[in-house]
Structure 1
Amino acid sequence: MSCLPVCTQRMKELAKERELEHGKRIEWNDWVADNLVVQFEKLVFPRRSQLPRASAVPHWEYSCQRLNHAFVRDEYSQLTLIPSVRENELVLQFHDFETMGQKSDGEIIFLDDITQAQALPSQDSVLHLLPAADEPQSAGYFCRFAIRDRSNANAACITPLNSGLLSRQDRWKRPRYAPSKPIVIDLSPRDLGLAEGFSQAEFDIIAGLGFDSEQDMSWRTRYPTATIYDESPPSVLSHMRRGKLLPPQDVKAGVPKVLIFSETGPLVIGGGEDPYFDLPLLNIINELNASEDDFDFLVSIQPAGILHPQCLPSFAKAVLELLKKRNSVHVFSVRLPDHGISNSQTYIVLLASPICSDVPWPATHLDTKSIEEQICHLKSKNPRADDTHPTAGKHVFLNPAGQVNVYNHGTGQLPDATDRPYFKTVDFESNIILPTLYSDHGWLHPTRHDILTVRECARIQGFPDDYIFYGADKALRSQIIASFPPPIARGIAEAIRKIIKEHTAPGLDASTFAALNLGGRPQKRTRVD
């Protein structure tokens, strides 16, 4: 009995699946192109007036006949601007972290922007509260958070109020760290680039959560001494909290601890807000907040679609939970070509820090090399290949320009018939590779006319030549291109390292930190089950 009809039917089903996937990715790319900039601008607020403060002439008192109100120095006035604000919780807008809430950081407001003004009864009319404080019972105004003005069009910052603005009993000390190598716990070992960037910046990768023995052997080989946990990060954190799993043994008091998490896969775009959307980052944060163990920094990579209306409420809730734990939250829009990576993707990067300060974000540069310059050393044919031994060409051994020895495995692979319409030939003269609208990142070599190899994809994504990949080529290509580029991850790690250095207490070891509680966080009560 022939199986031809069955095979033909299966090929039709695969073709239909590819067509549906193709349509979804077109919709995805269209939304990012048309809406991402507008959506991100909602996170940053420009000051109404760009008038330099040096050109303003201060007065002790100014009476405005139109508003029938006298503005007096050092006294609160309740203003109704255009548009009006009706909520009792206010958000402080600031520009400089060190002078937040001070006159020198205030905004100049034009009288024409004010529709109504009246005096508030006392200096305490606006309560400055801790980030985790509940809304006060009184009907007065209160403030827990501050948002930075648009000092960088690609960066937003929401932070708890500066400790100096709070009442004395609510103030806290900035954390101080031991002069030790910072440690990293990777909550997404599937993303090879994020951990690689931190490792290059001399962070210690000590653990991986959500490890899969079939898909994550490249990560395991790179960090052979790291502790691995094979369940989802929320489950592992929950088991640690309940004492069912032991935490990594290399965590010592005073040593900066960084959690990294990446979710770079595209989201399915639907209509309106999705009440059932489950943001993995939010689940992780909820488990962290329930735990007795504090982290120092959290870095999360999210797809640009996280700002889509159906996903934004969950993302906003995750940010709020981080703020309540007294973290400053920085959100960056990262377009990869702006940082020298040829992949045209854009990601949202979230950085939570226990320190209310500026983040020295990696500078952009537009000197991206052409695709040919990046992979030209990898396009040679193996001289052993001939008509008698054609397979020799699939494993090319190279030693380009004195660099490390490189194996360019997997040349000669061609896409399946159902996949071929969704592959694109790379333009060697271009310095940007556009999305292929295909989940396996189907790019064809312009001269060999086969699929780009794993090593060629790694070069384009910024991986070093000494990074060894294990697994099937098709899966590895997808994993590499979906990974956050190591050079950008390293820039983020170095920015964190600079913050840590500014708050390092030289001469104090971990035992001293444990005894003195110099971490800046309040002591927690012992948990009783």
Structure 2
Amino acid sequence: MKIFRLGEMFSGPGGMGLGAKLASMTWEPLGWQIHHEWAIDNDAASCATYIQNLCPTEPHKVICADVQCLDMKALSKINAFAFGFPCNDFSLVGEKRGINGQFGALYQYGIHVLNQFEPDWFIAENVGGLQSANQGQTFRKILEDLQQAGSGYQLTAHLYNFADYGVPQMRQRIIIVGIKTCLNLKFLVPAPTHLNQHITARQALENPPILPGITNQEITKQSPSVVARLKHIRPGENAWTANIPPELRLNVKGATMSQIYKRLEPDKPAYTITGSGGGGTHVYHWQEHRALTNRERARLQTFPDDFTFYGSKESVRRQIGMAVPPLAAKVIIEAILKTFAGIAYSAITPKWQMAQASITGYKQLRLLEKRGIYVI
């Protein structure tokens, strides 16, 4: 039996952790297990959510602390690691400050963990905007640091659209999987499972219906002006594309964010669920004149209904929007377990091929990019 002891950093409410648990449940009969060793986050509400849902009998495994003030030498040994380092400075809807922003350099604490424990494998997750931060230099620097951490890692980096893997949401995220070079194993990007059969917003929110009394289902009371505005917005439209009367239009100069007061399209996956934002960014029902509840957002993120989030309503919104969808995490972690078990699975070419440009040659790089393959 092979046991991977998993450590998590920037763990949030436990999207990655739940995905690992679900993958482990599938593979445990075959002799592969994932045991949660520790999870670290600096948000008290997120830590409470993680504890109550994933390790209620072992609360000490969740460390509520700022990684910048944490004594990492006190952490127990792990041989698997996951970290979704904060994406604020790389997000397309943020200020895009990149590696020099308040959160940009926090990935280095993940590097510290890799140097200290040299786990057999790791997963790093971030927003798609990371690839273009600082003209791509930030992404290259992060990949270089991950590749050289510990005794060296073989990386597979890909831009996933989670809707292609059964998540009812058009959510694009960069996932980097690293396996210790000395193990001579290569992670392959699992082939999409739902490429031509996306789960729709209607399917996610109505099948099955959300039962009365379920947690995190508080409905936000909309102001009369918001209700009046929504009456003029059809599914798929937003505040800028809908035919809204002049007196109900938003008087915001230079702002045309496509998600402002955007209604879902019932027969398509949802657009990206975010964790923050002011008025008009809460994701709106296709028929009812209201924002989604946190439970509905959680469903679009593939959290089960018995997964209760703790904290204020806005805190819960943030936790859900910032989390890794558990179903997406499960798919990727199962592929990692198959890689270690020597079990073949359907795979696709990763977006980025890990090679040195000086070896590949400029012309070859351009030819590969025309085929949708990017060499780092």
Classify the TM-score, shorter chain: 0.5 to 0.7
Query: Are residues 482 and 197 of structure 1, via their aligned partners in 2, closer, same or farther at CA, if it must alter by over 3 Å?
Result: same
Match of 2:167 in 1: 341
CA contact (8 A) 2:276 2:321 kept: no
Q: Are 1:263 and 2:89 an aligned pair?
A: no
Greater C-alpha radius of gyration:
1
Paired with 1:189 and 1:416, the residues of 2 have a C-alpha distance of 38
C-alpha distance in structure 1 between counterparts of 2:273 and 2:83, whole Å = 25
Identity of aligned residues (%): 18
What is the SS of the residue equivalent to 1:186? strand
Kindly indicate whether the alpha-carbon contact (under 8 Å) linking 1:375 and 1:456 is maintained by their aligned counterparts in 2.
yes
Which position in structure 2 is the counterpart of 1:294? 118
CA spacing shift, 1:285–1:317, aligned 2, 3 Å: farther
The separation in 2 between residues aligned to 1:272 and 1:453, in whole angstroms, is 28
Alpha-carbon separation, structure 1, partners of 2:224 and 2:87 = 26
Instruction: Say if 1:206 and 1:415 are closer, same or farther in 2 by CA, change over 3 A.
Output: farther
Q: Does 1:216 align with 2:47?
A: yes
Report the counterpart of residue 478 of structure 1 in structure 2: 318
Gaps of 5+ in 2: 25-33, 230-249, 251-259, 344-376
CA contact (8 A) 2:23 2:334 kept: yes
Is 1:284 matched up with 2:109?
yes
The structure with more helix, counted as a fraction of residues? 2
1:240 to 38, 62, 72: 72
CA contact (8 A) 1:187 1:261 kept: yes
Secondary structure, in 3 states, of the residue corresponding to 1:424? Answer: coil
Taking structure 1 as reference, are residues 372 and 358 closer, same or farther at Cα in structure 2, changes over 3 Å only?
same
Residues 342-381 of structure 1: pairs in structure 2 closer than 5 A? 342-354=168-180, 355-364=183-192, 365-366=194-195, 367-377=197-207
1:322 counterpart residue number? 146
Aligned-partner Cα distance in 2 for 1:351–1:344 = 21
Q: 1:257-282: CA deviations, max 9, x gaps?
A: 33333434462679999683563354
TM-score, scaled to structure 2: 0.66
Output the amino acid matched with 1:218.
Answer: T
Give the drift of 1:375.
1.0
What is the CA-CA distance between 1:186 and the residue it aligns to? Answer: 1.2
User: Is the 1:301–1:347 contact (alpha carbons within 8 Å) kept by the matching residues of 2?
Assistant: yes
Q: How does 1:175-194 map to 2 (within 5 A)?
A: 179-190=1-12, 192-194=14-16
Paired residue for 1:414? 222
* Alpha carbons of structure 1 residues 272 and 199: separation in structure 2 relative to 1, 3 Å: closer
Shift of 1:494: 0.9
Asked if 2 retains the 8 angstrom alpha-carbon contact of 1:412 and 1:450, the reply is: yes
Distance 1:330 1:474, change over 3 A: same
CA distance 1:369–1:280, shift in 2 (3 Å): same
Match of 2:305, SS state, is coil
Alignment root-mean-square deviation, CA? 3.4
Q: Is the 8 A contact 1:189 1:211 kept in 2?
A: no
Q: What are the residue-to-residue correspondences of 1:353-502 with 2, within 5 Å?
A: 353-354=179-180, 355-364=183-192, 365-366=194-195, 367-377=197-207, 396-397=212-213, 406-407=214-215, 409-411=217-219, 413-414=221-222, 422-433=260-271, 439=277, 441-502=281-342
CA pair 350-268 structure 1, distance change in 2 beyond 3 A:
closer
In the alignment, the residues of structure 1 paired with residue 219 and residue 50 of structure 2 have an alpha-carbon distance, to the nearest angstrom, of 23
Contact 1:424 1:436 in 2 (8 A): no
2 CA distance for matches of 1:197 and 1:260?
Answer: 13
Q: 5+ residue gaps in structure 1?
A: 1-178, 383-395, 398-405, 504-529
Match of 2:317, SS state, is helix
**Structure 2 Cα separation of the partners of residues 483 and 450 of structure 1:** 23
Supply the AA of the counterpart residue of 1:495. A
Which residue matches 1:392?
Answer: none
**Aligned CA distance change for structure 1 residues 379 and 496 (closer, same or farther; 3 Å):** closer
